Structure 1
Amino acid sequence: MSRPGYIFLTCPDAELLHNRITEILESNKASDFEKKVYWADDELPSQFWDDLTLQTLFGSSKAIILRRAHTLKVATWKTLDKALSSLSESSFLFLCLEGKWDKKGAPVPAVLKKRNCWKYAEKQKWFWNSAGLDEKSITGFVNKWSAQNSIIMDNAVKHALTKALPKDARAAKLELDKLELAAGPEKKLLMDHLSLIAFSEEMNFFEFMSSMSQGGDPVEIWRRVLTNHMEKDSMIFMLTASLTREARALWMMLHGEDSSVRLPPFVKKQKAALAQRIGAARIAKIFDIVMEAEIGIKTGNRRPDQALELLVAALTNLFAIQPSNRRR
């Protein structure tokens, strides 16, 4: 048998596991194998063991995927070790170790390292490791997506995209699917397109600018904005892209270019009112604040978290209502 009988895949991200299994099956000309998925959280049924060791009636081949294999008990690993020594040639087993990685590296259970199946897999290099998406691997994820879909983008757009995407492959894929549609037939991804990346329900920049311009509590408003992203490095790039897009729309409305702003009528009416309330000077200042933050990061004068804090402070000050202007 030219292909491996089984492979250990150590990765906490389900979408990356799915993608890698698909690639392995394709590279081994096994895409047509019947896929059978089992979960190690539950007691493995007799059918699982039959799939490993018995030929099917019509000789068809099976790709057996054991999810969350890192949760298997000692006794089960012992039984599985024996079963793999007599693995059917028609079976291709994928053992998914989905524990969270730590500083020591791949979270391989100690009990597994003692088993012959693991030692043999290491010798044959029947394993694949990935810590999931992070600041480094997200670039490769984006490059692969753009190559597969013939998407072109400037380096600045790619950098902003890698910072803005969620570090979960399934969530990131959903966002990239939207961006592919936005890129249109030209397949050209622009900075403005990045504003399509989903925020949570609370992440609404029109709402926060409207609230700030009416004297809303800046502490509460910014708490709602900032707590939607745990990683400030990602947050700053999405914030600048969204603020620029929002400010551009407000500026156009304020200067009679409403027809160029493609929004539902009721939304356009709300934004037109906001533009009048904020005024040209403060809208223009938003562009200056955003540019200062981006230049600070690109020149290395500021870390992303520093730029974010300064941007937040500048916007809070910009929208602050002086006591004499507050309603009494």
Structure 2
Amino acid sequence: MSRPGFYFCFCPDGNLLTRQISRHLAATGSDWDQKTIWSDDQGQEDALWSALNLPSMMGPPRAVLLRKCETLPDRFWPQLSGCLKGFKPSIWPFFCFENPWDKKKPKIPASLSKQKFFKFAREKKWIWEFPGLSRQNVPRYISRKCQELGIKTAPGVLEELSAVLPLDSRGIDMELEKLALLAYPEKTVCQDHLQAVPAQLDIDIFSFFKAVQGGQNLNPVWKKIFHEQKTGQGMLFPFLGLLLREARILWLLSTGMDPKVNLYPSLKREKTALARSLGPKRIAMLWDLVLEAETGVKSGRLDTDQAMENLAAKLFKLFSGQQVLL
């Protein structure tokens, strides 16, 4: 037996999950007929049992991808035991759990964990577990995807993309494919190309800057950010990405490189006025504040709430002309 008899996948990112399965299938050197069955489709029950038990007499071997297994009733797993006895050369079942993890662990149904075949799969390492993308591992994913697309990133671009792209591999793939077209024929994604990447956080960062500078009430903005963090959507790093993008625009406007900034004339005038009032030295400090918040969270020294509160206090000082200590 050169491959697993069956396989369990625990990953909330469906795109990563199917890519992992494709790698396993490709490693066998055979052409597989992939049959996908969705567990939450009640009309697929007969098709499922047929796919797991009846081999194809004439065609290629069959990979059965049972998606959304977290929706299956507890009674399903004891019933599955008979199907998994013995090795079926022409049938390879993949059981895919795609619900979010809980406390850094996959949610494994108790009725499944008690089954002998699952314990056997654990012993044989026929289980793949991955929590999905995070702000910590997304730079590595973006780098690999860029390599796959045959493109490179200019200095600083990877960091900005890692902060603003969604933590969804399919969404990242689509954005990078779009950037690959924009980067042709040089095949290098530069800062100018990032204007085509939509912000994942529904906040006008320039209006935020003006509100900070004018001492306006920022409670609505902070409420949104902290609410989204508590619901698990992780808004700190997208906010930092927007901050970096706006800092770059202000830097260009403050240093006489305004032809490189493509904005509506009225908005460009407003941003130029803000850039001149801040000056290059204070604008440069925005990069320092972003780096401080990012490293504080990634090192474990600060949680996201603490990092955001610290960032807010220093932004107020920066825009009000006070000294900012890093």
Whether these two folds match at TM > 0.5 is yes
Q: Which of 232, 245, 251 matches 2:248?
A: 245
Superposed, 1:137-286 pairs within 5 Å as: 137-153=137-153, 157-190=157-190, 193-194=193-194, 196-200=196-200, 202-209=202-209, 217-221=217-221, 223=223, 230-231=233-234, 233-235=236-238, 237-248=240-251, 250-251=253-254, 259-263=259-263, 267=264, 269-275=265-271, 278=274, 280-282=276-278, 284=280
Q: Does structure 1 retain, via aligned residues, the 8 Å contact 2:15–2:170?
A: yes
Higher deviation after alignment, 174-183 or 109-118: 174-183
Find the residue that maps to 1:45 and give its secondary structure: helix
Q: Does structure 2 retain, via aligned residues, the 8 Å contact 1:53–1:86?
A: no
Q: Does structure 2 retain, via aligned residues, the 8 Å contact 1:244–1:286?
A: no
Counterpart Cα distance in 2 of 1:25 and 1:279: 55
Counterpart Cα distance in 1 of 2:294 and 2:132: 26
Q: Does structure 1 retain, via aligned residues, the 8 Å contact 2:10–2:98?
A: yes
State the 1:69 CA deviation.
1.5
Q: Does structure 1 retain, via aligned residues, the 8 Å contact 2:61–2:90?
A: yes
Do residues 66 (structure 1) and 66 (structure 2) align?
yes
Counterpart Cα distance in 2 of 1:311 and 1:289: 12
Q: Does structure 2 retain, via aligned residues, the 8 Å contact 1:55–1:90?
A: yes
State the 1:199 CA deviation.
1.7
State the 1:65 CA deviation.
0.7
Name the amino acid aligned to 2:111.
V
Find the residue that maps to 1:36 and give its secondary structure: strand
Name the amino acid aligned to 2:78.
K
* Match in the other structure for 1:38: 37
Deviations 1:197-252, CA, capped at 9 Å, x for gaps: 43247333345456778886543355567766643551453033221233145447
* Match in the other structure for 1:326: none
State the 1:82 CA deviation.
0.8
State the 1:128 CA deviation.
1.1
Q: Does structure 1 retain, via aligned residues, the 8 Å contact 2:34–2:64?
A: yes
Q: Does structure 1 retain, via aligned residues, the 8 Å contact 2:138–2:162?
A: yes
Do residues 291 (structure 1) and 287 (structure 2) align?
yes
State the 1:20 CA deviation.
0.7
Higher deviation after alignment, 202-211 or 20-29: 202-211
* Match in the other structure for 2:324: none
* Match in the other structure for 1:323: none
Counterpart Cα distance in 1 of 2:79 and 2:303: 51
Q: 1:227 to 1:120 in 2, by over 3 A?
A: closer
Counterpart Cα distance in 1 of 2:281 and 2:222: 19
Higher deviation after alignment, 69-78 or 293-302: 293-302
Name the amino acid aligned to 1:291.
W
Q: 1:128 to 1:273 in 2, by over 3 A?
A: same
What count of residue pairs does the alignment treat as equivalent? Answer: 312
Q: 1:144 to 1:291 in 2, by over 3 A?
A: closer
Q: Does structure 2 retain, via aligned residues, the 8 Å contact 1:40–1:68?
A: yes
Counterpart Cα distance in 1 of 2:212 and 2:131: 40
Counterpart Cα distance in 2 of 1:178 and 1:304: 34
Q: Which has the larger radius of gyration?
A: 1
State the 1:193 CA deviation.
4.8
Q: Does structure 1 retain, via aligned residues, the 8 Å contact 2:34–2:65?
A: yes
Name the amino acid aligned to 1:272.
K
* Match in the other structure for 2:103: 103
Higher deviation after alignment, 187-196 or 104-113: 187-196
Counterpart Cα distance in 1 of 2:238 and 2:114: 43
Q: Does structure 2 retain, via aligned residues, the 8 Å contact 1:11–1:99?
A: yes
Q: Does structure 2 retain, via aligned residues, the 8 Å contact 1:10–1:130?
A: yes
Name the amino acid aligned to 1:35.
Q
Name the amino acid aligned to 2:268.
A
Q: Does structure 2 retain, via aligned residues, the 8 Å contact 1:251–1:283?
A: yes
Q: 1:144 to 1:201 in 2, by over 3 A?
A: closer
